[in-house]
């Protein structure tokens, strides 16, 4: 038998040798998960039963093979809420919290207490569920093409005790866009990686679904099609909010301008990268 303390150091060292930068944090998360304790190192001398040790070393081995920590744990935090994650959904990123801030600001400034919101390309449902938590009277729709992801959205809505409308459909089809109308806000973090990005993915990202990543040769397919197709579903002067990749802001801004959106406003994420845009639909007579 080995003590928690000794095993912890062994795990950190295994991760370090395999180039995992966040070795201490990742090991701590695995220990917290397996011991189901917030501070598993408060009892450093306690012996770890052999079966637990084996489970921990297995997880560490998978992590050193590049498997994402979030999938190993099966859950991750987004905007302070817990979300189930698995290989069917993109792992929620802190960058995407910028979109949440954008929508909360829009609702606050414009006194929208019960907005009708559609989250397109919903994935784990992190955006839709978080918005419903933050704006309880909102009517929130989550639209997602992957049946398996839809199951995860349902789980996450339940886990966080919210009721949202979940639609299993292709956002690039006109009939899907026409199925929703009178929206105050459309929010979307679509797949936006280019072919080059896909060919040069970081190891961890290769475990995420490619349908969640690839946005066409230049990464902009979803912005072009959604902006055009979903315009009609928005109220006059309604808002659209997109997340995009580093360096895509000019192109996404131009797409919005061409489709008669105004007040095109960009925001930076916590790493100071221009990450999101919000814009309003010009009135249609």
Ligand X SMILES: C[S@@+](CC[C@H](N)C(=O)[O-])C[C@H]1O[C@@H](n2cnc3c(N)ncnc32)[C@H](O)[C@@H]1O
Q: How far is the CB of 191 from ligand X (least distance, A)?
A: 5
* Distance in angstroms (rounded) separating the CA atoms of residues 142 and 121: 8
Under the criterion CB under 6 A, does residue 68 sit at the interface with ligand X?
no
Tokens coding 30: 């695995």
Q: How far is the CB of 145 from ligand X (least distance, A)?
A: 3
* Distance in angstroms (rounded) separating the CA atoms of residues 122 and 142: 6
Under the criterion CB under 6 A, does residue 92 sit at the interface with ligand X?
yes
Contact 71, 83 (CB under 8 A): no
Which range in 59-67, 155-163, 189-197, 247-255 contacts ligand X by CB under 6 A?
Answer: 189-197
Under the criterion CB under 6 A, does residue 11 sit at the interface with ligand X?
no
Under the criterion CB under 6 A, does residue 30 sit at the interface with ligand X?
no
Tokens coding 200: 């040069």
Under the criterion CB under 6 A, does residue 48 sit at the interface with ligand X?
no
R_g of the chain, CA atoms, integer Å? 21
- Choosing from 40, 68, 115, 190, the residue that interacts with ligand X (CB under 6 A) is 190
Q: Of 56 and 226, which has the nearer Cβ to ligand X?
A: 226
* Distance in angstroms (rounded) separating the CA atoms of residues 6 and 25: 16
Which range in 4-12, 89-97, 150-158, 248-256 contacts ligand X by CB under 6 A?
Answer: 89-97
166-185 binders of ligand X (CB under 6 A): 170-172
Which residues lie across from 187 on neighbouring strands? 119, 241
* Distance in angstroms (rounded) separating the CA atoms of residues 181 and 147: 23
| H or E stretch at 190 | none
Query: Shortest Cβ contact with ligand X: which residue?
Result: 123
- Report the interface residues with ligand X, using CB under 6 A: 89-90, 92, 96, 121-124, 126-127, 143-146, 149, 170-172, 189-191, 211-212
């Amino acid at each position: 038998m080995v003590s928690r303390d000794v095993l912890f150091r062994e795990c950190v060292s295994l991760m370090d040798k395999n180039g995992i930068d966040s070795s201490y944090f990742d090991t701590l998360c695995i220990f917290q998960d397996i011991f189901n304790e917030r501070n598993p190192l408060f009892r450093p001398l306690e012996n770890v039963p052999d079966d637990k040790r084996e489970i921990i070393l297995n997880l560490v081995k998978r992590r050193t093979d590049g498997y994402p920590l979030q999938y190993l744990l099966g859950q991750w935090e987004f905007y302070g809420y817990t979300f189930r994650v698995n290989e069917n959904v993109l792992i929620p990123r802190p960058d995407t919290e910028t979109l949440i801030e954008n929508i909360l600001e829009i609702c606050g400034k414009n006194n929208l207490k019960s907005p009708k919101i559609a989250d397109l390309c919903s994935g784990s449902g992190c955006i839709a569920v978080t918005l419903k938590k933050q704006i309880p009277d909102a009517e929130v729709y989550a639209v997602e093409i992957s049946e398996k992801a839809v199951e995860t959205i349902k789980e996450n809505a339940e886990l966080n005790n919210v009721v949202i409308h979940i639609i299993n459909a292709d956002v690039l089809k006109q009939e899907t866009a026409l199925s929703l109308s009178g929206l105050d806000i459309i929010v979307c973090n679509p797949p936006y990686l280019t072919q080059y990005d896909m060919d040069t993915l970081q190891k961890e990202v290769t475990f995420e679904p490619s349908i969640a990543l690839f946005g066409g040769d230049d990464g902009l397919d979803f912005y072009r099609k959604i902006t055009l197709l979903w315009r009609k579903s928005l109220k006059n002067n309604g808002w659209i909010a997109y997340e995009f990749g580093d360096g895509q802001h000019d192109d996404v801004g131009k797409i919005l301008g061409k489709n008669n959106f105004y007040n095109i406003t960009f925001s930076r994420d916590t790493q100071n990268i221009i990450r999101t845009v919000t814009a309003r639909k010009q009135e249609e007579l």
